[in-house]
Structure 1
Amino acid sequence: MSEKLFGTGGATSSATAEGHVCHRCNRELPLRMAASGEAAAVWLCVECGLPFPAVCLPDRLPALSERVALDDRYFDTSYLPPITKETRSEIIRLAGDDGQNDFSEKRASPRIAVALLAAGVELDKAFYPISPTFQMMITNVSAEGIGMVSVGRLSSPFIALKMRSSYRAEPIQVIVEIVRQRELRSPYTEIGGRFVIRLGSTAR
C-alpha cells in the first residue's frame, strides 16, 4: 500500500496494558502503535474523528469495536467505473438462479434477498488492509452471514465492507470472514461470508 494509506501523521495516543487511549477523548482503543518496519493502517477514533496510523488488536476488537472504524480512504470508489443498472440486474438474476444450490453455506437464520452496492478491501488475519478498494454486490443477508458477488476471486481470509442498508441512512462498516467462493459466471464470483464484527457502531 502507498504512504497515502499508511502515513505516520495523525492523532497521538498513549499505551495501556490493553491498547491505546485517545488523547483527545480519553477512550481506550483496540489499537497499538506499529513497531519499527511494521505497516500500519489508518484507523479512526469514532468519538472524536481523529486518525491513528496503528495496528489493530483483534483480541480487543470485539469489546471495543464501536470505538474505531477504518478510514474512509479504504472505501473510496470515486476512481472506479460505476456498476451499471444492467450489470446489477444481471448479477442479481444470476445469484437468484443459483440461490438454492449446494453452494449455499448453512446459516441458522433465514436469508433476506437484497440488492446493495458495497465498497470493500481485503484484510489479512490481523485485519490489515492488503488490497486496493473494489466494488461488489450484496445479494442476501441473514443474522450471521452475507452473500456477495465480486469480479474475480478474493485471496484474503477477511474483507472489510462499507455499505448502506435498505433501512439505515448512515453507511456501516463490517468485517466479514470469507467462507466459500465459486465462479458464478465469468467474470463473477459468488462469495459466502460470516459476519465477524461491526465497526464504529453498536446499532443493529
Structure 2
Amino acid sequence: MSRKKVGVLISGRGSNMSALIEASKAPDYPAEIVGVLSNKAAAPGLLTAQEHGIATASLAQSKFPSREMFEDTMTQILESWEVDYVCLAGFMRILGEDFVLRWQGRMVNIHPSLLPLYKGLDTHARVLAAGDAEHGCTVHFVTPGLDEGPTILQARVPVLPGDTPETLTARVLVEEHKLYPLALAMLARGEVSL
C-alpha cells in the first residue's frame, strides 16, 4: 500500500495533529504525516512533531511584505515535502483564495461546531449562549469562504446542564481526535472527494 503524504498546518499545541500522527502509526492507515508547518515559531506542536521524527517549519506572516508571499512560501514548503493533502489543525489564519484554490479538494479542516452552525471563533460559548441541546465538530473541505466547504464527517455531543465553554471544549475535543483521523483515512483512500 502506498500511503498518501500529508502536511499539517498548526498554530499551537496541535492536539489534532497529534491524533493524526498517532493514527498514522497503524500499519494499515492510508496516510502518513510528513511535515508540520506553523505560523508561530513557539508552537508546542512543532516540538511534538520533531519528537516523532517529522519535518517541521515555521513562518511568521509578519516577516513577509504580503499575505500572497507568505502563502507562496507555505506552498513551496508543502511541495518540498511532496504532500498529497493538507490538514488544518488549529491553524489560526484565514487563508487567501489563491492558496485555497491551489490546494482545493486536497485541503481539509476540523472545526469545533456542527457546521453550517457557528462558523468562526468562540463556538463553544456561542452554543451555550444560544441554549442549544447539542454541539460537536465537523471535518470539511476547505473552500475560499470561511468554514463553508462541504462536510466530510461530523460528530455530535450533548450539551449538559452546567456546561461551561471549558467543559464543552474538552468533550468536543475527544470527538475531534477520533473524527479527524477517520476523515483523513477516507480522503486518502479516495472514498470522499470535493
Range into which the TM-score falls when normalised by the shorter chain:
under 0.3
TM-score (norm 1): 0.26
Larger Rg: 1
User: Which of the pair has the greater relative contact order for Cα pairs under 8 Å at 6+ separation?
Assistant: 2
Considering fraction of residues, name the structure with more strand.
1
Considering fraction of residues, name the structure with more helix.
2
